[in-house]
Amino acid sequence: MYDLVCFSHLRWQFVFQRPQHLLTRFGRQRRVIYIEEPVWTSEPSHMESHDGGVGVVVLTAALQHGLAADEAERVQTAMIEAALAEHGVRDYVLWFYTPMAVALAHDLEPLAVVYDCMDELSAFKDASPELMARERQLLTWADVVFTGGHSLYEAKRDQHANVHAFPSSVDVPHFAAARGLQSEPRDMSDVPRPRFGFCGVIDERLDIELLEGVAAARPDWHFVMIGPVVKIDESSLPRRPNLHYLGPKDYSELPRYVSGWDVAIMPFALNAATRFISPTKTPEYLAAGKPVVSTPIADVVRTYGDRGLCRIADSVQSFVNACEAALEERDSAERLKKVDAFLAQGSWDATWQKMADVLDLAVRTRPKRSGTFLMRGVEGEARPAVASMRDTRAEEGSK
With respect to residue 381, please indicate whether it lies within any of the assigned structural domains.
yes
pLDDT at 289: 96
pLDDT at 399: 43
Q: Give the predicted TM-score (pTM) of the model.
A: 0.88
pLDDT at 47: 97
Task: Determine how β-strand 46-53 pairs with β-strand 56-64.
Answer: antiparallel
pLDDT at 239: 96
Among candidates 46, 52, 50, 58, which has minimal Cα distance to 24?
52
Among candidates 396, 399, 389, which has minimal Cα distance to 103?
389
pLDDT at 316: 98
Residues 214, 95 share a domain: no
Residues 371, 330 share a domain: no
Residues 311, 279 share a domain: yes
Q: Rounded to whole angstroms, how far apart are CA atoms 205 and 335?
A: 28
pLDDT at 120: 86
CATH number, domain at 326? 3.40.50.2000
CA 267 to chain centroid, in Å, comes to: 17
Residues 117, 15 share a domain: yes
To the nearest 10 degrees (0 to 180), the angle between helices 316-328 and 208-217 is 60
CA 25, 297, 287: angle at the middle one, nearest 5?
45
With respect to residue 158, please indicate whether it lies within any of the assigned structural domains.
yes
With respect to residue 165, please indicate whether it lies within any of the assigned structural domains.
yes
Q: State how many domains the chain has.
A: 2
Residues 204, 180 share a domain: yes
Q: Rounded to whole angstroms, how far apart are CA atoms 151 and 297?
A: 10
Q: CB–CB of 126/230 below 8 Å? A: no
DSSP state of 146: E
Residues 288, 231 share a domain: yes
With respect to residue 399, please indicate whether it lies within any of the assigned structural domains.
no
DSSP state of 302: I
DSSP per-residue codes, 4-67: EEEE-SS-TTSS--HHHHHHHHHHTTS-EEEEPPPEEESSPPEEEEEEEETTEEEEEEEEETT-
With respect to residue 139, please indicate whether it lies within any of the assigned structural domains.
yes
Task: Determine how β-strand 195-199 pairs with β-strand 243-247.
Answer: unpaired
Residues 309, 178 share a domain: yes
With respect to residue 398, please indicate whether it lies within any of the assigned structural domains.
no
Residues 209, 155 share a domain: no
Q: What is the residue range of 280's domain? A: 172-343
Residues 176, 157 share a domain: no
Q: Rounded to whole angstroms, how far apart are CA atoms 116 and 166?
A: 9
Q: What is the pLDDT along the chain (399 residues), one digit of tens a residue?
A: 899 999 999 999 998 999 999 999 999 999 999 999 999 999 999 999 999 998 999 999 999 999 998 999 999 999 999 999 999 999 999 999 999 999 999 899 999 999 999 988 888 877 788 889 999 999 999 999 999 999 999 999 999 999 999 998 999 999 999 999 778 999 999 999 999 999 999 999 999 999 999 999 999 999 999 999 998 999 999 999 999 999 999 999 999 999 999 999 999 999 999 999 999 999 999 999 999 999 999 999 999 999 999 999 999 999 999 999 999 998 889 999 999 999 999 899 999 999 999 999 999 998 866 445 544 443 333 333 333 343 333 333 334
Q: What is the CA radius of gyration of the chain?
A: 22
Residues 154, 30 share a domain: yes
Q: CB–CB of 226/249 below 8 Å? A: yes
Residues 120, 101 share a domain: yes
With respect to residue 289, please indicate whether it lies within any of the assigned structural domains.
yes
Residues 225, 371 share a domain: no
Q: Rounded to whole angstroms, how far apart are CA atoms 104 and 3?
A: 18
CA 256 to chain centroid, in Å, comes to: 22
With respect to residue 397, please indicate whether it lies within any of the assigned structural domains.
no
pLDDT at 369: 61
